[in-house]
Each structure stands twice: as C-alpha cells, then as structure tokens.
Amino acid sequence: MSKFLTLLKASIFEGMSLFKFRTKKHSKTKKIALFIFLVVAVFVSVYGYADMMLEPLAGTGMEYSVLTMYSLVAVVIILAEGIYKASGLLFNCRDDDLVLALPIKKSSVFLLRMMKFYLFELAFSTMILLPTMVAYVVRVGVLTVPPTFYLASFVALILLPVIPVVLAVLISMGISGISTRFRFKNLIQIVLTMAVLVGVMILSFNIQDIMTTIAEHVSSINEMIMRLYYPVGAYIQMVTDFSVLTLIVFILVNLVVAGVSVLIFSKVYFKINSRAKTVKLGKNQKEGKIKAHGVMRALMIKEGRKFISSPVFLVNAGFSLLLYLIAVIMMVVNFDWIISMFSSAGLGLSKEEILNFMPVIVAGFVVFCALMTSITSSMISLEGGTINILKSMPVSAFKIIMAKVLTAVLIAVPVFLIGDVVLFIKFDFNILQMLIILALSIIVPIVAEVLGIIVNLKYPKMDARNDTEIVKQSMSSMVAVFMGMILSVVTVYLMYLGIDNGVSAGKVMITVLGAYTLIMMGLIIYLKIRGDKELSEITV
C-alpha cells in the first residue's frame, strides 16, 4: 500500500501539477499568487452565479434545486470532458516503460492512473460544487442548515465524480479498443469520440424532455432526480430529508462501481494500451516523395500535422467549434431558443426587439465564441523536447510563433465564416452589418490565438507525459480560457450597456471592431518585440 501511495504521490506531483511551469525570478511567489487568484476568481464567479439563481428561490424551501442543477452540470461536464481526456491520460503514457518495470502489480498501475484521473476531476467538480454549497448555506441560513447537510455534502463532493469518471473510462476504453485495431487509429478515435460527444450534447439539450417524461411517472421532485441520475438524487434526498441508510447506500453504490470497474477494466486495459503503442509500418517500402516548401508554409504544414495527429488536441478545439456551429443552426431553426435564453437571463425581450438587435447579438456571439476557442494556448507546450529543433533552425522566433498562430486562425476562422453565412441567409442584415460581422469573425479569432500563444510562452509545460496534461490540465490552457472569458464577458456587457443607453447598433458594432483591431495590433507588436526573448527563455 505504501508503495502505491508513494507512486501516486510522485505521479501526481510529476504529471498533474498545474503549477509546474517556467517563470523567471521570484517564481515561487508568482506561482502562489496566480494559483490564489485563479481559485478565488473561479470561486467568486461560481458563487455569484449560484447565488443569483438562489435569490428568487429564497424562503420557498426549493433552494436545493440549485444544488441539483449544479451537481448535474458537474456530472455532465466530467463525463463529456472525461471521454476524450481519459484516452490521453490512460493510454500511451510516456512513463509506461518506467512504471511497468517497477515491482508492483499491473492492476495497481491501472488503479494509479484511474486515481490520477479521478483526483483531477475531483478538483474540477469541487470548483463547481463547493461555491454552490457555500451559496446554499448562506441563502438558507447557517443556523437553519442541519449538521447532516455538511456530512452529506462532504461525502457527495468526494463521491459524485466517481461514476462519471468510471463511465468516461469505459467509453474511452471502448473507443480506444476499436480504434487501435485500425492502421489510422487516430482518425478512428477522433471520429468516434466526436460522435459520442455529440450524442452526450444532444442528450443534455434534450434533458428538459427527458425530465418531463420522468415527471409524468413520479410523485415527487426527489424521485424524479433519483430516476434521472441516482447519485445526485441520493445527495439531494440527504439534503432535504437525511437518513443514514441513504448515506450508506450512496457510499456503497459508488465504492462498488469503482471497485468492480477497476477489477474488470484492468483485465483489458493493458491489451488496449499495448495495441495503442504499436505503430503499424506501411506495407510498401518506399523512399517517399521529396517536396520543397517556403519556410512559413513548411512550418504551418508541420503545425497542421500536429493538430490532426493528436486526438485530444483536435477534439478539444474541434468540439468547441462544432458547438458553435450547432448553436448557429439552433438559432436558425429554433428561434424560440434565443428568446428563452434572453428570458432566462432576465432580459424579457420580444421577438421583434430581438430581431432588431440581431446584428449586435450575432456580433457578441461571435466575439464570445471566438475568445473561448484558444488553440494556440497548447501549441508551444505540445512541442516538448522538439522545441530545440525549432530553436536551432535559421528562422526567426517571430516566424515560428506566427506560424502557430496562423495555423490556429486557419482552423478557426472558416468555421466562424460558415456560421456567419448561415446567419446572413436566415436573418435580414444590411451590407455594413455583414461586413462588420465578417471582419469580427476574422479579427477576434486572431486576438484569441495571439493571446493564447502569449499565455503559452509565459506558462509553458514542456515535460508533460501526454497531450491531455497540456491541453486540459496545464496552467496555460486554464489562463487562456479565463482571459478569454473575462474579455468576452466585458465586451458583451459593454455592448449591452451601449444599446441600453441608446447608442445605435451600427456604432456599437463599429466600436467593438475598432477596439479588437487595436487589441490585435497591440498583441502582434508585443509578440514581435518580446516573442524572441520569451521563446529563448523556454528551456528543455
């Protein structure tokens, strides 16, 4: 047991450390400050939003419904993200040879990797659930909440991620099991993962219908949640009407699911892992074609190859772009969806009013989605040891960096432009509005990608054991998403303020376009001046 714990500790410190990035002098202070800032920022944001939802429910005795919603959201996110994270974390790890050569059982190696995955998801779900639980206690009243709430919430906090993690691992193993039988395993893996993720999203979008169907056959809300998803239902039951029996059953169900799955999965895991590591050679032995490209084109081809060869990298970026397209299609085919979104945000606008503001809404939507898609925030880290190849080449650092930015822009921009065209066909925009939206669809992704690469240059993670650690668990990707979120929320809020104060839609859109053009130029100038130094300071 102590051997296992030592290995787990080493593995977590080595692989999952979010804060293992290079900073210059006084790095310890910077790391701690950044860590505290991010934790506080996430806590305050989630707390604020949960509290906003609890406000109309205060005193009704229905406050627990916010806990239900946040628990379900955490479960769905763990499941959706876990499906493509799991394959990267479990299979083809760079420390395979080292760990498998140690005198420990193979099933312990699998358990170790499952634990690592679970602990990261636990940290993630805690970021969502803990502030919600605190907001619940504050709203309901510290003295009103029974002590059993704290016990139930603590147990739920620990155990709620278990089943989604197990499900994610099961699905991921299934996908890897199928894809590793083919020569183009990455392609098959990407297609299958995308298909499963779209399925999960469709299921989430239809949750309302599912709940309605369940509601017809149950006598209480608790029973409904229990039928929808047992662990959340059990937690809510313990919050509203605590019983020791429910607590014991809840703990046992999670432990049994975890134990049985580890025992069964570890039987097939090593077979799949071994297949995942095997690279089938081409049947025809050829010398290969020799082609010449310009420096920039060659660099961009290399970046494109990396993008399509890393399932987790591609699915992560591709899925958010796919979600954008799905959202655009929903706006076109189901306009009531937009109206319901505005009502749920407390902005009860009529259909005519929404149609009038449609160009601004679309502009804000493009800004939001583009800033939330940062492909470049992983691109420096994904180089790993190969960064030295690039640094030894007779090519300026600015060119190397811009090749990454341009590749990411070429991946993202066409999706936004396709979305624009679909929206232009459906809604009645004038030429100027269309031009501004098209320009925003080009400029804002450039801003997001330049910002992403700057963040990655500041916080590179060059010693990751797999791509998942970089794409999903690195400081760079977290900071980039956080900055994109702040920038997009501020922009959308300022646009709303402008419209609310009677500024014309055209003026608001031109101002946003002007502002982002200036930001883009500023960021590129920064890269031109600082990029060389930032890149040279990255050591592998």
Partner 1 sequence: MIEIKNVVKKYGDKIALDNVNFTIGDGEIFAFIGRNGAGKTTLIKAITGIHDFDEGDILINGKSIKKEPVDCKKEMAYVPDNPELYENMRAIDFVNFICDMYEVPIKTRERNIKKYAEMFDLTNNMNDTIESFSHGMKQKVALISALTHEPKFLVMDEPFVGLDPKAVADVKNVMREMVEKGGIVFFSTHILEVAERLCSKVAIIQKGKLMRVGSMKEVKGDKGLEKVFLELVEK
Asked whether the beta carbons of 228 and 210 are under 8 A apart, the reply is yes
| 26 binds partner 1 per the rule CB under 8 A | no
| 287 binds partner 1 per the rule CB under 8 A | yes
- Among 248, 250, 404, smallest CA distance to 317 is for 404
C-beta of 101 vs 431, nearer to partner 1: 101
Least Å distance between CB 401 and partner 1?
14
Q: Which of 22, 275, 391, 530 binds partner 1 (CB under 8 A)?
A: 391
Alpha-carbon distance of 91 to 5, in angstroms, equals: 21
| 292 binds partner 1 per the rule CB under 8 A | yes
Q: Which two tokens stand for residue 224?
A: 């409904």
Alpha-carbon distance of 297 to 299, in angstroms, equals: 5
| 22 binds partner 1 per the rule CB under 8 A | no
Question: Which position has the token pair 């991921």?
Answer: 172
| 274 binds partner 1 per the rule CB under 8 A | no
Least Å distance between CB 314 and partner 1?
12
Half-sphere exposure of 404 (CA within 13 A, CB side): 30
Where b means 16+ CB within 10 Å and e means fewer, 193-218 reads: bbebbeeebeebeeeeeeeeeeeeee
| 283 binds partner 1 per the rule CB under 8 A | no
| 285 binds partner 1 per the rule CB under 8 A | yes
Query: Under DSSP, is residue 517 helix (H, G, I), strand (E, B) or coil?
Result: helix
C-beta of 94 vs 106, nearer to partner 1: 94
C-beta of 285 vs 501, nearer to partner 1: 285
Provide the 10 A C-beta neighbour count for residue 24. Answer: 8
Q: Which two tokens stand for residue 93?
A: 């790890």
Please compute Rg for the chain using Cα positions: 25
256 CB-near residues (< 8 Å, 6+ apart): none
| 97 binds partner 1 per the rule CB under 8 A | no
| 284 binds partner 1 per the rule CB under 8 A | yes
Least Å distance between CB 506 and partner 1?
46
| 536 binds partner 1 per the rule CB under 8 A | yes
| 23 binds partner 1 per the rule CB under 8 A | no
Q: Per CB under 8 A, which region of 6-14, 142-150, 333-341, 394-402 contacts partner 1?
A: 394-402
- Report in angstroms the alpha-carbon separations of 74 from 7, 46, 270, 479: 28, 12, 30, 20
Q: Per CB under 8 A, which region of 145-153, 224-232, 233-241, 300-308 contacts partner 1?
A: 300-308
Q: Which of 384, 445, 484, 531 binds partner 1 (CB under 8 A)?
A: 384
Alpha-carbon distance of 78 to 358, in angstroms, equals: 34
Provide the 10 A C-beta neighbour count for residue 306. Answer: 19
Least Å distance between CB 9 and partner 1?
25
Asked whether the beta carbons of 239 and 152 are under 8 A apart, the reply is yes
Please tell me what DSSP assigns to residue 284: S
Asked whether the beta carbons of 486 and 41 are under 8 A apart, the reply is no
**Which 301-320 positions form the footprint of partner 1 (CB under 8 A)?**
301-302, 305-306, 309-310
| 502 binds partner 1 per the rule CB under 8 A | no
C-beta of 147 vs 394, nearer to partner 1: 394
Question: At how many degrees (to 10) do helices 185-205 and 162-179 cross?
Answer: 140
Q: Which of 394, 425, 500, 501 binds partner 1 (CB under 8 A)?
A: 394
Q: Per CB under 8 A, which region of 79-87, 280-288, 420-428, 510-518 contacts partner 1?
A: 280-288
C-beta of 106 vs 305, nearer to partner 1: 305
| 289 binds partner 1 per the rule CB under 8 A | yes
Q: Which of 101, 142, 290, 345 binds partner 1 (CB under 8 A)?
A: 290
Please tell me what DSSP assigns to residue 382: G
| 537 binds partner 1 per the rule CB under 8 A | yes
- With contacts defined by CB under 8 A, how many residues of the chain interact with partner 1? 39
* Interface residue list for partner 1 (CB under 8 A): 279-282, 284-295, 297-299, 301-302, 305-306, 309-310, 384-386, 388-389, 391-396, 536-537, 539
